[in-house]
Amino acid sequence: QCEQWPTAGPEHRIMANPMQEFVGRAPETDHVHHRLFHRYKEQFGKSYGSEEEHENRKRAFIHNMRFVHSKNRAALSYTLALNHLADRTPQELAALRGRRRSGVPNNGQPFPTQLYAGLILPDSLDWRLYGAVTPVKDQAVCGSCWSFATTGAMEGALFLKVG
């Protein structure tokens, strides 16, 4: 089904020719953006207090959608997807990331790569396919990123031990 979010559907025009949005911009591009933003709002239960806020959020959504498509077209070792934060500006996202690094050394030890020299590993491994990792959690601004990372590591270790 081509209309599923966030696969093909109306996004395929933007993905196929990203410059079409900027050069010889067709009126249908605005319509596609409108439909995608409407679908995003429905999926994540978004509503805004004013028309001005709605337009600002839509603009941020389009910006973030372009960023995601740009990264995904680069054929990197990972893919990005839009989530409930896709209507936020870069400044708002930075504020959500919370605290800055302290700059104090943590006395961590280097990884002992020599122990694994000659080991044949696959080019990539998606642990999601095996159920070893759960979806990324939204820690918001609580400042306890270490606990989320620890939980993820423990989930993976438990999966490897008991399946």
Instruction: Give me the amino acid identity at 120.
Output: I
Choose among 113, 97, 102, 112: nearest CA to 145: 97
The DSSP letter of residue 55 is H
Closest CA to 137 of 100, 85, 72, 95: 85
Q: Is the pLDDT of residue 20 over 90?
A: no
pLDDT, the chain, mean: 81
pLDDT of residue 2: 43
How many alpha carbons lie under 13 Å from residue 41 in its C-beta half-sphere? 15
List pLDDT tens digits, range 107-131: 888 889 899 899 998 988 888 888 8
Q: Is the pLDDT of residue 1 over 50?
A: no
pTM (2 d.p.): 0.60
**Is 101 exposed, middle or buried (CB count within 10 Å of its CB: 0-12, 13-18, 19+)?**
exposed
**Alpha-carbon gap, residue 9 to 5, rounded angstroms:** 7
pLDDT for 46: 96
The total of other beta-carbon atoms located within 10 Å of residue 108's CB is 6
pLDDT at 151: 87
At a CB cut-off of 8 Å and minimum separation 6, what does 89 contact? Answer: 56, 60
SS3 37: helix
Q: Is the model's pLDDT at 157 over the cut of 60?
A: yes
Whether omega before 90 lies within 30 degrees of 0, making that bond cis, reads no
| pLDDT tens, position by position, 28-45 | 667 888 899 999 999 999
pLDDT digits (tens, 9 = 90+) for 40-67: 999 999 999 999 999 999 999 999 999 9
